[in-house]
Amino acid sequence: MTDTDLVLVERTGAIATLTINRPTKMNALNAHLVTELARAFEALAAAADGEDAVRAAILTGAGKAFVAGADIGEMSEMTPVAAKRFADAGQRLCHRIEALPFPVIAAVNGFALGGGCELALACDFIYAAEGAKLGLPEVTLGVMPGFGGTQRLLRRVGAARARELVYTGDMVSAEQALVMGLVNAVHPAAELVLKAKETAQKIASRGPLAVAAAKRVMLHGEGVDLASACEHEAQSFAGLFGSEDQREGMKAFLGKTKPSFLGR
């Protein structure tokens, strides 16, 4: 395990686990932590090619929180110009997570509030521990979400539910989040990262070019009309037929053997 102070990164085969490591502050996001997370994800993006590539990642938090929000002490002193700079950095981080060529699973082990909830929403999907709490409470501080939370939340749970959560600033339990579609599954805390790793391992065993293409197509489709999104899907589908992975996958299926995908 390598320690970049605020972010711990562990590689197990094709799976990378990133742990936000500021437990004495409930992993609250300050400018330094946002920068360190961006650096960690950039390093993983650079390791996304070749036979030893990262094919799935897990993001979780040390201690009792995933991320309990932004660092209010730091934010309380911000001018509008500084606040815009902070929001831009947070949005770049979230966009970078979305743009990675492999899926990222948020393993929400405790509080995921404000910027923490926004960070989880930038991941491909969310597993939560029993007892975890999620929400966007920024309006209780006289501000609003700034890392993309208003937009990603409404895309994940629908406009009406998103408006209710943003306007009230209320937290929801992991179980409530499951019902509304904010999280994909709820697991006992002791099993959370293990369950995320099981899913990550399953994803890593699939064709990496196909997974990356599917991720790009689904992200692109959120911002365009259905016909355009489906055309993009058809083009990406066809493009995969020029890959070694496609030939390997179909040959293995017909021969009733396990495919060995190389990402090319």
Question: Is 244 labeled as catalytic in the residue annotation?
Answer: no
Span 237-264, pLDDT tens digits:
999 999 999 999 999 999 999 998 988 8
pLDDT band for position 1 (cuts 50, 70, 90): very low
Span 140-164, pLDDT tens digits:
999 999 999 999 999 999 999 999 9
Span 73-114, pLDDT tens digits:
898 999 999 999 999 999 999 999 999 999 999 999 999 999
Q: What residues form DSSP beta bridges with 58?
A: 17, 105
Instruction: Tell me, rounded to whole angstroms, the distance of Cα 127 from its chain centroid.
Output: 10
The Cα–Cα gap between 44 and 5 comes to 17
In a domain, 263, yes or no: no
Q: Which two tokens stand for residue 216?
A: 């790009």
Residues 106 and 52 in one domain: yes
Span 162-209, pLDDT tens digits:
999 999 999 999 999 999 999 999 999 999 999 999 999 999 999 999
In a domain, 264, yes or no: no
How would you classify the pairing of strands 125-129 and 171-173?
unpaired
Domain tally, the chain: 2
CATH number of the domain within which 97 lies: 3.90.226.10
Residues 107 and 169 in one domain: yes
Residues 69 and 199 in one domain: yes
Give the residue with greater pLDDT, 52 vs 230: 230
Question: Is 175 labeled as catalytic in the residue annotation?
Answer: no
Residue 253 burial (C-beta neighbours within 10 Å; 0-12, 13-18, 19+): exposed
Query: Containing domain of residue 248, as a range?
Result: 208-255
10, 42, 138, 222: the active-site residue: 138
Residues 150 and 215 in one domain: no
> Which helix (DSSP H) or strand (DSSP E) does residue 133 occupy?
strand 133-135
pTM of this structure: 0.92
> At residue 107, what are phi and psi to the nearest 5 degrees?
-105, 90
10, 36, 98, 118: the active-site residue: 118
Q: Which of 95, 100, 120 is nearest to 55 (CA)?
A: 100
Q: Which two tokens stand for residue 142?
A: 């006289």
CATH number of the domain within which 223 lies: 1.10.12.10
